[in-house]
Amino acid sequence: MAEEIEIVYGQGFPRVIEPRATMFEDIVEDIKYKAQLLARETKLSSGVLATVSQGFAIGFILAVAMMLVPFFIFKGGI
């Protein structure tokens, strides 16, 4: 009778040929790095977009104040 070979899963790469695991690891590391950059950029842009209206309002008020303060100082008011 033919001898049955037990197949065991979860033991890594098959050893028919020597796998190029370093190539796969380099690709995986590159993908992880790019995903982290994308996540960081997404967090930054969403944080900036969340405060755009508040920043615009504060900037507008400061700009108007910087235009009106010299009139009050040098002319004594409007």
Q: Which residues of the chain have pLDDT under 70?
A: 1-2, 13-19, 76-78
pTM (two decimals): 0.48
What is the distance between the alpha carbons of residues 14 and 16, in angstroms, rounded to a whole number?
Answer: 6
Rg over alpha carbons for the chain, rounded to the nearest Å, is 32
What is d(CA 41, CA 48) in angstroms, rounded to the nearest whole number?
11
Both tokens assigned to 6: 């037990």
Measure CA 27 to chain center.
19
Q: How wide is the angle at C-alpha 11 spanned by C-alphas 4 and 24, nearest 5°?
A: 130
Tokens of 56: 């615009």
* Predicted local confidence at residue 9, as pLDDT: 73
